């Protein structure tokens, strides 16, 4: 009888968590912990603090790394697996580093009818990065194609970091927005 060979561990795929890039930071700042405690106290169940805590983690760590998820689980006192499940469910938690200015272009139907596809190509051309590719060499830009930003009436719309800037963005407007980013007129992505 043939015995099965021992599993070849060298080529085994990594566990889901190990595939995520690592962040420099490993722990929350004391102020962030206070903030999370305050949120936990406000809601009837401490589990409700998961989403807000992940938002705080993204602000502190720059993106939601595995270390950030572990820190959230520890701060709230809930299983790490739960936090991993939540963090990977929602698209606004970036699981990889983004640039200082994260440009999110809506390409859904209303914006597409007004030229969002061409705008996204323009954004990629001007910044030199493609969606989902991570930040540009200078660390300034990253681009993401997103679903509806609720700016349908004034599309195509672009969100820079955390604010929606939606005034009928064309090439001229896009260059203005990028100039304004460099001047520092925009809310920064993370601390």
Assess 154 for contact with another protein (CB under 8 A).
yes
Taking CB under 8 A as the criterion, the residue among 60, 159, 169, 174 binding another protein is 159
Assess 113 for contact with another protein (CB under 8 A).
yes
Assess 126 for contact with another protein (CB under 8 A).
no
Instruction: Note every long-range contact of 64-73, with CB atoms under 8 Å and residues 24 or more positions apart, other chains counting.
Output: 64/93, 64/94, 64/95, 65/20, 65/21, 65/22, 65/23, 65/95, 66/17, 66/18, 66/20, 66/22, 67/22, 67/23, 67/25, 67/26, 67/27, 68/23, 68/25, 69/17, 71/26, 71/27, 71/28, 72/36
- In 71-162, at which residue ranges do the beta strands (DSSP E only) sit? 101-106, 141-146, 158-160
**At its nearest, how many Å lie between another protein and the CB of residue 39?**
10
Would you state the structure tokens that stand for residue 54, as one six-digit string?
């992940």
Maximum CA extent, the chain: 73
- The residue range among 16-24, 26-34, 115-123, 134-142 that interacts with another protein, by the rule CB under 8 A, is 115-123
Assess 108 for contact with another protein (CB under 8 A).
yes
Task: Find out whether the peptide bond into 143 is cis, omega within 30 degrees of 0.
Answer: no
Taking CB under 8 A as the criterion, the residue among 34, 38, 90, 175 binding another protein is 90
Taking CB under 8 A as the criterion, the residue among 33, 96, 117, 140 binding another protein is 117
CB atoms within 10 A of CB 49: 24
Assess 168 for contact with another protein (CB under 8 A).
yes
Would you give the binding string for another protein spanning residues 50-89, x where CB under 8 A is met?
xxx-xx--------------------------x--xx--x
Assess 149 for contact with another protein (CB under 8 A).
yes
Which spans of this chain sit near another protein (rule: CB under 8 A)? 42-45, 47-52, 54-55, 82, 85-86, 89-93, 107-110, 112-118, 120-121, 124, 130-132, 144-155, 159, 162-168
């Amino acid at each position: 009888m043939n015995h099965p060979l021992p599993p070849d561990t060298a080529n085994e795929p990594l566990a889901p968590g190990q595939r995520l890039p690592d962040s420099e930071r490993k722990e929350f700042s004391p102020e962030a912990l206070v903030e999370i405690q305050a949120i936990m106290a406000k809601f009837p169940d401490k589990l409700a603090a998961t989403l807000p805590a992940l938002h705080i983690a993204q602000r502190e760590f720059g993106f939601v790394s595995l270390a950030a998820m572990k820190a959230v689980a520890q701060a709230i006192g809930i299983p790490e697996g739960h936090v991993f499940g939540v963090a990977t469910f929602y698209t606004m938690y970036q699981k990889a580093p983004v640039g200082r200015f994260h440009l999110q272009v809506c390409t859904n139907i209303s914006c597409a009818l007004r030229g969002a596809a061409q705008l996204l190509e323009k954004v990629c051309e001007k910044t030199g990065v493609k969606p989902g590719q991570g930040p540009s060499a200078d660390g300034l830009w990253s681009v993401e194609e997103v679903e509806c930003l609720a700016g349908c009436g004034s599309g195509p719309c672009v969100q820079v970091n955390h604010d929606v800037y939606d005034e009928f963005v064309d090439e001229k407007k896009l260059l203005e927005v990028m100039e304004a980013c460099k001047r520092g007129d925009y809310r920064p992505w993370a601390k």
